Amino acid sequence: MSNLLEIRQLKNHFISEGRVIPAVNGVSLTLQKGETLGIVGESGCGKSVTSLTIMGLLPKGGKRITDGEILYKGRNLLNVPEEEMQRIRGNEIAMIFQEPMTSLNPVYTIGKQLSEMVMLHRGYNKAQAREHAIQMLKKVNIPRAEAIVDEYPHQLSGGMRQRVMIAMAMSCDPELLIADEPTTALDVTIQAQILDLMRELRSKQGTSILLITHDLGVVAEMCQRVVVMYAGQVVEQADVISLFETPSHPYTQGLLESMPKLGEDSKWLKSIPGNVPLPGSVKQGCHFASRCPFVESRCLQEAPPLFALENGQLSRCWIHENAAKEVAAR
């Protein structure tokens, strides 16, 4: 399998009141063709900023500093002119946003919003675009598609609006779909239907999916590989089976331990003590040191690199230094 997307040392630092805030700080990852890659982490870890940077949707200008590379089919999207990016966005790379009610325009009908994409990228006329919109609504299992196409977002349920977002994202058969928390605030039945729909689209159309979530259950069900982020950095990367069976980073271990498990008698869920540090507040050492059960003096002074382990996992923790050296020596 070849890489469709490759991010190399991506940095996205925002400037606010004279301070530099590192929202994303040296993120690297790859997404192969036809693969679903999960990005997991707490709120504020940089997941959504990474996805919006890929799409070129963050404001440009002196308010932020961006460095690194985002290679899509070998081309650095950070150097692509805005006119060319508009051709790629929605056509080759599409995104399902976290909250469909704020992503859909409340003053336009569903049909008009679905039609806009294919009229822009495919050159359809109004009649062709309307028919395409109806077919896309049927494709995502929306009933009464011929009527829904003339309705407004506020007339639909949360699950229906999310289906509309998926229909919109898939209208031009993109090669890469970025799904930012696609099942947030939906009940479990609708969540399952949305995930089934995404899985079906991937299998039938070969779409690569970058799935951003904080739900490890969704990751286990949907992804082949997982990237775990913390405080703007990648702290672990592994295939999904290795991540759940042998998590290598203390933060990943804490996340898995905090999940409820069947058959346990404990009244309380385990939690990771402390809070996520504010962006830019950690000046030296490991970003997870203040919450880590294995912290040593070195962790407070030196920031660990991302170590490559023997089983293919990557982990940003000093406890793997010797094992990583042994792997490198072979």
CA distance 65 to 299: 27
* Mean local confidence (pLDDT), 225-250: 96
Which pLDDT score is estimated for 291?
95
147 vs 100 pLDDT, higher one: 147
pLDDT, residue 330, reads 45
Higher per-residue pLDDT: 243 or 266: 243
How many CB atoms neighbour CB 254 within 10 A? 18
What mean pLDDT comes out for the span 317-324? Answer: 89
Under the banding of pLDDT at 50, 70 and 90, the label for residue 279 is: confident
Whole-number average pLDDT of the chain? 89
If one compares 186 and 3, the residue with the highest pLDDT of the two is 3
| pLDDT tops 80 at residue 237 | yes
Mean pLDDT of the region 235-247? 96
List beta partners, residue 47.
Answer: none
Tokens, residue 237: 């990367």
Tokens 């899985």, residue located: 199
% of the chain surpassing 90 pLDDT = 60
Residue 17: is its pLDDT beyond 90? no
Of 31, 94, 47, 7, nearest to 215 by C-alpha is 47
Q: Can you tell me the distance from the alpha carbon of 238 to that of 2, in angstroms, rounded to the nearest whole number?
A: 17
Average pLDDT over residues 37-59: 91
pLDDT of residue 209: 95
Q: Return the minimum-mean-pLDDT range out of 28-32, 250-254, 270-274.
A: 270-274
| Amino acid 70: pLDDT | 96
Q: Is the pLDDT of residue 174 over 80?
A: yes
Across the range 163-184, mean pLDDT stands at: 89
DSSP assignment of 241-277 equals HHHHHS--SHHHHHHHHTS--TT---SS-----S-PP
Mean predicted confidence (pLDDT) in 222-230:
96
Contact between 231 and 282 under an 8 Å Cβ cutoff? The reply is: yes
End-to-end Cα spacing for the chain: 25
* Residue 102 pLDDT > 90: no
| pLDDT band at 256; cut points 50, 70, 90 | very high
For 27, the token pair is 């993120």
Q: Residue 265: what pLDDT?
A: 61
Position 326 scores a pLDDT of 63
Average of per-residue pLDDT across 226-254? 96
| Measured distance CA(213)–CA(259) in Å, rounded | 15
pTM for the whole thing?
A: 0.91
The confidence score (pLDDT) of residue 266 equals 59
Q: What is the pLDDT of residue 264?
A: 62
